[in-house]
């Protein structure tokens, strides 16, 4: 019996995702063996960590009889894209509130895909996901959907759906532990991008509950160290409660590297562009500047400062996000 088997789950993606060796990337860095966990290949629209998360969130929505799902995030949100795709697959109406919108509509990357997926798209200049005024707007959209005859389901990650998303990554930790069992050497460290933090929280909780001691570094994409650490601990421990796990997560269970963090509106740094090009030119694997490029830049910097032995194995979790790349064309300077 797995840790999350009792939760409702909608079959939307392809799991387990591959765990692939990246020998040319490892050789280019002259450091440890590198494995890439290909959650970018999880399927649904274009894959990524959100496909795994929405198997649980939309499984819960379906179990509650929802006919419409409502969520907010930025204009290049991978979450909203996979939500719309998953809702379509399950016959639910996707209603998206795009946050921080002040400029003209730019139909590129994920923003284009929201339209192709047929989502009902609303916008607000509010950017902070914790702002009570944003929550009020989401409530208004729920009320309007109900008035139109829908049974609405609110996807709001500071609330219950973030805890379900964390559970999705507890199950990813179980999946990885099974894959590690088939390797010659146990991985010693794992890197991934930390945004709102459910993904990191789920992996930390899953690995520690299963007794694995590998190091885990969340490379914070936007938040300062302390906020990222606090969000990860809070999601992990709310999820432990939901799943009936006794283990509690603390600051000693993982590291947050905030040296790559940058506001989403800023151009990609040299380190991020270099990381994207290195993955592409050694392994043919595509990253993007908002999440995975920063995580890779953090991992590369750690390898270059000699944090690992050549006999170590480091896992890079590829969380997807490819469409966002196309909102950053100029920054590559080609
Ligand atoms: C959402 C997302 C993340 C961050 O996940 P959190 O659970 O919010 O920390 C990382 N990478 C990609 C591509 C994402 O879309």
Q: How far is the CA of 192 from the centre of ligand 1 (A)?
A: 9
pLDDT for position 114 = 98
pLDDT for position 214 = 97
* Ligand 1, atom nearest to 292 Cα: 11
User: Could you give the C-alpha distances from 174 to 38, 202, 273, in angstroms and in order?
Assistant: 15, 10, 32
CA atoms within 13 A on the CB side of 170: 33
How many Cβ atoms from other residues are within 10 Å of residue 284's Cβ? 8
pLDDT for position 265 = 84
Element (H, E) at 315: strand 313-318
* Ligand 1, atom nearest to 218 Cα: 9
Element (H, E) at 96: strand 93-98
Q: How far is the CA of 282 from the centre of ligand 1 (A)?
A: 24
CB of 225 closer than 8 Å to CB of 197: no
Q: How far is the CA of 121 from the centre of ligand 1 (A)?
A: 21
Q: How far is the CA of 157 from the centre of ligand 1 (A)?
A: 12
User: Could you give the C-alpha distances from 241 to 49, 132, 161, 164, 314, in angstroms and in order?
Assistant: 22, 26, 14, 11, 30
Hey, which of 196, 258, 287 would you mutate to test ligand 1's pocket, going by the most ligand atoms within 8 Å of its Cβ? 196
pLDDT for position 264 = 85
Tokens of 158: 């500071």
Hey, which of 42, 74, 195 would you mutate to test ligand 1's pocket, going by the most ligand atoms within 8 Å of its Cβ? 195
Spell out where 244-312 has E strands: 255-257
Q: How far is the CA of 148 from the centre of ligand 1 (A)?
A: 32
Please tell me what DSSP assigns to residue 255: E
pLDDT for position 125 = 97
* Ligand 1, atom nearest to 169 Cα: 7
pLDDT for position 1 = 77
Q: How far is the CA of 301 from the centre of ligand 1 (A)?
A: 20
pLDDT for position 32 = 97
pLDDT for position 2 = 93
Pairing of strands 19-21, 68-73: unpaired
pLDDT for position 157 = 81
Tens place of pLDDT for every residue, the chain, 334 residues?
Answer: 799 999 999 999 999 999 999 999 999 999 899 999 999 999 999 999 999 999 999 999 999 999 999 999 999 999 999 999 999 999 999 999 999 999 999 999 999 999 999 999 999 999 998 899 999 999 999 999 999 999 999 999 888 999 999 999 999 999 999 999 999 999 999 999 999 999 999 999 999 999 999 999 999 999 999 999 999 999 999 999 999 999 999 999 999 999 999 988 889 999 999 999 999 999 999 999 999 999 999 999 999 999 999 999 999 999 999 999 999 999 999 9
DSSP string, 164-216: HHHHHHHHHHHHHHHHHTTSSS---EEEEEESSSHHHHHHHHHHHHTT---EE
Q: Which residues line ligand 1 (CB under 6 A)?
A: 48-50, 78-79, 193-200, 291-292, 319-321
pLDDT for position 167 = 98
């Amino acid at each position: 019996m797995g840790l999350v088997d009792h939760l409702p789950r909608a079959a939307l993606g392809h799991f387990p995702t591959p765990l692939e060796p990246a020998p040319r990337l490892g050789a280019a860095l002259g450091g440890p063996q590198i494995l890439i966990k290909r959650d970018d290949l999880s399927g649904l629209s274009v894959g990524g960590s959100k496909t795994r998360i929405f198997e649980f969130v939309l499984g819960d929505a379906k179990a509650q009889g929802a006919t419409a799902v409502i969520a907010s995030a930025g204009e290049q949100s991978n979450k909203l894209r996979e939500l719309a795709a998953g809702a379509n697959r399950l016959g639910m109406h996707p209603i998206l509130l795009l946050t921080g919108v002040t400029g003209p509509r730019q139909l590129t990357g994920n923003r284009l895909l929201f339209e192709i997926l047929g989502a009902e798209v609303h916008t607000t200049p509010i950017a902070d996901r914790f702002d009570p005024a944003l929550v009020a707007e989401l409530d208004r959209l729920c009320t309007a959907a109900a008035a139109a005859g829908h049974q609405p389901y609110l996807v709001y990650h500071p609330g219950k759906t973030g805890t379900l998303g964390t559970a999705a990554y507890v199950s990813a930790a179980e999946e990885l532990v099974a894959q590690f069992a088939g390797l010659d050497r146990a991985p010693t460290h794992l890197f991934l991008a930390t945004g709102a933090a459910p993904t990191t929280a789920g992996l930390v909780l899953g690995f520690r509950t299963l007794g694995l001691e590998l190091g885990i570094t969340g490379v914070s994409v936007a938040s300062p160290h302390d906020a990222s650490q606090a969000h990860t601990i809070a999601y992990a421990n709310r999820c432990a409660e939901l799943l009936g796990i006794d283990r509690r997560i603390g600051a000693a269970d993982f590291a947050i590297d905030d040296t790559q963090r940058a506001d989403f509106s800023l151009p990609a740094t040299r380190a991020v562009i270099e990381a994207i090009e290195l993955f592409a030119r050694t392994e043919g694997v595509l990253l993007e500047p908002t999440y995975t490029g920063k995580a890779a830049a953090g991992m590369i910097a750690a390898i270059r400062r000699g944090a690992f032995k050549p006999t170590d194995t480091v896992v890079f979790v590829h969380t997807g996000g490819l469409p966002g790349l196309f909102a950053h064309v100029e920054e590559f300077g080609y």
